[in-house]
Structure 1
Amino acid sequence: MAVVEVRHLRKVFDGGRVRRRGAHGRVNAVDGVDLATTEGEYLVLLGPSGCGKTTLLRTIAGLEQPTDGEVWIGGHVVNELPPRARRVAMVFQSYALYPHKTVRANIVFPLRAQGIDKAEQAKKTEWASELLGIGPLLDRRPRQLSGGERQRVALARALVREPSVFLLDEPLSNLDAKLRASARDELKRFQRRIRTTTIYVTHDQVEAMGLGDRLAVMDAGRIRQLGPPVEVYDDPADIFVATFLGSPPMNLVPRDGVLVGFRPEHLLPESLVHGDDRLVVPFQVDRVEHLSGDRHLYGTIRGLGAETRVIARLPVTVTSEVEPGQEHQFAVHADRLRFFDADSGERTEPMSVRTGS
């Protein structure tokens, strides 16, 4: 295991690279990032497409050279080291398996490149294939495997190198929804068994919340917030995190230069929010969306100085009393309210709002 740290890291792409993306000039793909893992941690880089998360991962791997700043792995600066010397293993979105080689040949390829003798190759291949449950697949070729099986082969090929760090770049994005759920579970159990420091890139919130010991939410080349998943979800540092994380996203209601935020699952019928320390608002429900286990209620609330479109997410068991086309009394407990400066978008101190019924 090893600690990974980046200090004041910047990666700027020049105009030629940018023009291929349909933009102009120079782009700060990674813009002054400071980040450190702990040993054996599962750290997830989460953000929208183009936010810099994959560039950051590739720079740690040595596949991109930083414009400024340092990459530290295991207590050493590795800026000048080639990828193979950094003791990291990267699993790509496409898995990058050799289609003409068998599973066995794919797994041993990096060992052959290192000059490892055949007996040790066989020993490591058996160990990795047993750990990942792919022993019966060793004589097949990638085209004969399912997406989940290809993923496990890619992990086995990385594992036999005995890396200090795993770097995973959206390895589940090509799987269907059902397979992704089981693959997430496999990845988490696998990492818990080997306890190797892992940095995982994704734009999928479910993956991020389910896999990460900590989340680093990125936007425009910067880390907007870093912390445990529940903390980042419950206490977003700014409007970007509040509205990016969560499906549906956090509701934001303008009031006196402040945006009052609350999660859809915290906007409930008044009868379900007990105590006097609460915000009660009339909620005109326009539409009810029926989802598995939940109902999303779309409509408008009044009572904070402006009419605002919001979404409530309720368990199916409490929605029978809520009909579209009618106004209902809804409430949010005061400790579920979050406040943001309307100009900067940053979290601000709690303020007094109308409470009670």
Structure 2
Amino acid sequence: MISVTVAAHGRSRRCVGAHLRAYGSGRLSICDLERETTQKKKNIRPQAHWKMFWEKLCHIIVVTLQLCLPGLFRLFYTSRSSKLDLSRYSTDLKSTCIPYSPIHEFPNDVLARIFRFLDCKTLLNCELTCKRWSNVIEEHLEALPKLSTDQIRILFDEAEVFIYPIDEKRCPVRYAMPSLQGLERRLRHLTTQSLFIRGLIPVESAPVLRSLLSLSLRPQQIYFIWSNFSPSSVPILEKLLRANRDTVVDIGLEECSPPHLFTDQLLDALLPGLTCVRLWNNGKSGNYGISDRSINKLASPEDVPPLNMEFEEQRDVNPLGFAVNVKENH
């Protein structure tokens, strides 16, 4: 799948790798960014030329005055003594040391217990204090408080990340897509109710899912749209769902390919807590490998009362396009 913004830049496929940077509404490589910088240098070069000319002219004027009027510059110099009065300086090295706070003497376990009583914003400031505190926070990240969000949207095709706060009156925050390491670093202090991912390509799918697996976002809903997975990334997706099976109750796959990779085993990782499955596919590249076995298991688990299922069929497209909503009988 080719991104619309990438096609607008005149390329047949999207560049992938650690050299990616966000630029406008799409992705450009470092080579493109350097090309833009080279074009701007042509406008800056005349200004730099006049600056160098002025510096050389001032240097020539100062040298000429020093040779012709040497007495003029003596007014600007003060006499210096060859001997320094060392008695004015303290020789006690202990008095010159900056005293450390007693908190730096605490062991790492005590620091981790202190960090548990801090709010998320204060914890972020503590993480920037020193390398030791940063390592302590990283080691005890699971037990530390996190900032709750309503939804996290990661749009790889547009190189943007949107974070929607819990408060509906506040506007979402938009970020340019950082590197994968930077994305993991920014999301590790957050939890979300909905994780929305769009525009994955096969080369990116495995590293991105592996990065999400290392986080503790605790989403209730996971939704993938217009994403193309590699065969090696599907087992990582199963691990991601299995790691969040205590919280995920809603999963969605819309126009994800190749569809035959998504089988019953994918839903088994979330049962019996799964209550909603959203699947949509126009059938051009095949049908999802999810059979009636998982749908029946979803509708009638053994340890809960019978449930009703509602199917929304897409009759204007090829199969398979349906959404399954499971609701309890009232």
- TM-score band by shorter chain is under 0.3
Greater share of helix: 2
- Higher relative CO (Cα under 8 Å, sequence separation at least 6) belongs to 1
Task: Judging by fraction of residues, say which structure has more strand.
Answer: 1
TM-score in terms of structure 2 length: 0.28
Whose Rg is larger?
Answer: 2
